[in-house]
Amino acid sequence: MSKLRCLCSELLDLNLIPNPQAFIVVADTAIEDIVQDQIQICNDATIGQETRNDRLFFSLLSMRNKGVAEGVECPQCGRIAIFGRPGNDPPDVWYKVEKRREPNLGLISSANQLKRH
Ligand SMILES: [Zn+2]
């Protein structure tokens, strides 16, 4: 699955790396396991730096950890498609925006505003 048709009919490109519309959803209960997994990869002296970087990246994105999902926000309507597993088609859940603090301010835009503060 490389493109996803939003319920509003917008076509979302899922091949972009990094994808400015995508984010990772992590359950609060999964964070410790993820951190431990990342530490274990960092401490593995048998792997080279490039392999280590790949493993760190894919250990999160491959969703080996329970409680990790991927979200993609539609830039047109703000709906969020949630994938419990990569490549699930259709998405497991669609969320629709009911209220925004500011019009046209999506989830990712909000998060990017927080990064600057
Ligand atoms: Zn949409």
Query: What are the residue ranges spanned by the domains of the chain?
Result: 1-27+70-117, 29-66
Please check whether residue 108 is in contact with residue 20, taking contact to mean a CB–CB distance below 8 angstroms: yes
Q: What is the pLDDT of residue 91?
A: 94
Q: What is the pLDDT of residue 9?
A: 97
Residue with tokens 């993820």: 34
| Residue of 6, 2, 1, 3 lying closest to 81 (CA atoms) | 6
Please check whether residue 44 is in contact with residue 90, taking contact to mean a CB–CB distance below 8 angstroms: no
Give dist(CA 45, CA 47) in Å, integer: 6
Q: How far is the CA of 107 from the centre of ligand 1 (A)?
A: 13
Q: How far is the CA of 5 from the centre of ligand 1 (A)?
A: 8
Q: Which two tokens stand for residue 23?
A: 């984010």
Please check whether residue 111 is in contact with residue 23, taking contact to mean a CB–CB distance below 8 angstroms: yes
Amino acid at 51: T
- The region that residue 58 occupies, defined by phi over 0 for left and psi between -120 and 50 for alpha, beta otherwise, is alpha
- Residue 23, exposed/middle/buried by CB under 10 A (0-12, 13-18, 19+)? middle
Q: How far is the CA of 4 from the centre of ligand 1 (A)?
A: 10
Q: How far is the CA of 9 from the centre of ligand 1 (A)?
A: 6
Q: What is the pLDDT of residue 65?
A: 66
Q: How far is the CA of 77 from the centre of ligand 1 (A)?
A: 4
Q: What is the pLDDT of residue 53?
A: 86
The pTM assigned to this predicted structure is: 0.77
Tens of pLDDT along the chain (117 residues) come to 589 999 999 999 998 888 899 998 888 988 888 888 889 888 988 888 888 888 887 777 665 667 888 899 999 999 999 998 777 789 999 999 998 888 778 888 887 776 655
